Amino acid sequence: MENKELGIYIHIPFCKHKCDYCDFVSFSDKQSCIEKYIEAVKKEINNYFQDEQFLQTYTVTTIYIGGGTPSYINSRYIFEIMKVLENNLKNNMVKMEDMEITIEVNPGTVNKEKLEQYRKAKINRLSIGLQSASNTILKQIGRIHTFEQFLETYKMAKEVGFKNINVDLMIGLPNQTIEDIKISLKEVIQLHPTHMSVYSLIVEEGTLIAQKIENGQLKEMDEILERNMYWYVKNTLELNGYTHYEISNFAKKGKESKHNQNCWKQKEYIGIGLAAHSYLNYVRYSNTLEIDQYIAQMNTLNEQVVKDILALVEEKDMLEKMDIKENLMCQIEKVYEIEEIQNIEDRKKEYILLGLRTIEGVSISKFKEKYIDNPIFLYRKELEKLVEEKLVIIDGDYIRLTNKGLDLANLVWEEFI
């Protein structure tokens, strides 16, 4: 039987400064934990790949190092993590030089030496967090860099040999105007990055930006203006040779993010590190949010936990043997938090939901190939409603969002939760 594709996500939760809008699990005051944390990450990686069944079941095809700010920590730590992966993936069916391996970097935390180290570690894709070309807006949202530092970072990345570069932008920021968006797009497009991610600000409870909006220091973006920004971005990037392939993502031909695409195609992945999420063998589980607890757990981790996850839904009758199932869950939950054990109906609905994140949409024939059922019949009530409301369209082999559906995607996804 052919091995299943697997992505690896590695979370580096350290930052020089936490941005005002950020609600990710990250810290600007835990520098003393960095070395112990990296050791714990390496132990977690080793634990997965010591399991023979795991090695026989999966082929790693993508690696993504995110945060936090991975470029904030010493590059030797990233090199060490990559070396552990390389040692474990010697017999992997895809060689590391043929994988998509991404690291997130922020201007103001990276220099040429770090970028050269990343290249030596076989990292071949950068994701640079710009957010805006306006220094006023950058300062307002708590970014520590300037647009000029971004330009220097981009230039250094090209000089050391990075050819596949994503640039992050944000829209819907307080006090942002359409003119700001026009300038940001113009400045970035002329650099010819291979990929651009453009995210709308989501004001998360407990963030500094939420507090500033609540006490009147900042005003939340008007929804109509934010949508106008989105459509300006979409039209401008498409006119400049970028394919809009997912709600927030645009790419030059063949440069779509393979790691994210595999997630949207319901392929499996493991999350390494604090608060990282995994989806393995139809089990969705996550690591602890507490850094000291994570380090302690990884120091006592053994490969039996991976065996238990693989066994949890491996046999059809396993779910009937509740005493075995509960015992396995108790063992796993000593280290990981189990969020969901999917049955077949869960998987079908999630496949639709994830597919409707993409501009192409859900392939009816691929759904039937994977699940036998015809999604048009299976979800006829939901689809009739969504088509009637002009949120989705059934176009040949595809069920996809309409332009109206792109604006109201959350309403569409709610039908399949």
The fraction of the chain above a pLDDT of 90, given in percent, is 88
Amino acid 320: pLDDT: 55
Which residues face 249 on adjacent strands? 197, 246
Per-residue pLDDT at 317 exceeds 80: no
Going by C-beta distance under 8 Å and a sequence separation of 6 or more, which residues neighbour residue 384?
Answer: none
Q: Is the pLDDT of residue 22 over 70?
A: yes
Co-location of 254 and 351 in the same domain? no
Among 243, 264, 285, the domain-final residue is 264
Last residue of a domain, one of 214, 237, 264: 264
pLDDT score at 417: 87
Q: How large is the average pLDDT for residues 171-199? A: 97
Once rounded to an integer, what is the mean pLDDT over residues 16-35?
Answer: 93
Dump pLDDT digits (tens) for 148-166.
Answer: 999 999 999 999 999 999 9
**pLDDT exceeds cutoff 90 at 224:** yes
Q: How far apart are the first and last CA of the chain?
A: 32
337 within some domain: no
CATH number at residue 352: 1.10.10.920
- Tell me: do 99 and 196 sit in the same domain: yes
- What is the overall mean pLDDT for the chain? 94
pLDDT at position 372: 95
Identify the pLDDT of residue 312: 83
Which residues span the domain enclosing 172? 4-264
pLDDT of residue 303: 85
Determine, yes or no, domain membership for 276.
Answer: no
- pLDDT score, position 74: 97
- Classify residue 271: in a domain, yes or no: no
For the cut 90, the answer to whether the pLDDT of residue 2 exceeds it is no
Domain of 75: which CATH number?
3.20.20.70
Extract long-range pairs of 75-81: CB within 8 Å, 24+ residues apart. 75/113, 75/114, 75/117, 75/118, 76/117, 77/34, 77/35, 77/38, 78/12, 78/103, 78/117, 78/118, 78/121, 78/123, 79/117, 79/120, 79/121, 80/38, 80/42, 81/10, 81/38, 81/41, 81/42, 81/45
Looking at residue 53, its pLDDT comes to 87
The answer to the question of residue 301 being in a domain is: no
Give a yes or no: residue 123 inside a domain.
Answer: yes
Task: Specify the pLDDT at position 14.
Answer: 97
Please tell me whether residues 88 and 208 are part of one structural domain: yes
321 confidence band (pLDDT: 50, 70, 90): low
The answer on 134 and 26 residing in a single domain is yes
pLDDT at 286: 97
* Position 52 confidence tier, pLDDT thresholds 50, 70, 90: confident
pLDDT of the residue at 323: 66
Residues of the chain with pLDDT > 70, as a percent, come to 97
- Domain count within the chain: 2
Q: Does any domain span residue 273? A: no
Question: Do residues 66 and 214 both lie within one domain?
Answer: yes
Which of 264, 299, 326 represents a domain boundary (last residue)?
A: 264
pLDDT tier at 109, thresholds 50, 70, 90: very high
Q: What is residue 322's predicted lDDT score, i.e. its pLDDT?
A: 59
Tell whether 354 and 235 lie within a shared domain: no
In a domain, 274, yes or no: no
pLDDT-derived band of residue 330, with 50, 70 and 90 as boundaries? Answer: confident
374: closest CA among 362, 385, 365, 361? 365
Can you give the pLDDT at residue 59?
97
The residues facing 14 across adjacent strands are 27
What per-residue confidence (pLDDT) applies to 49?
94
- The arithmetic mean of pLDDT across residues 37-57, rounded, is 94
Residue 12 lies in a domain: yes
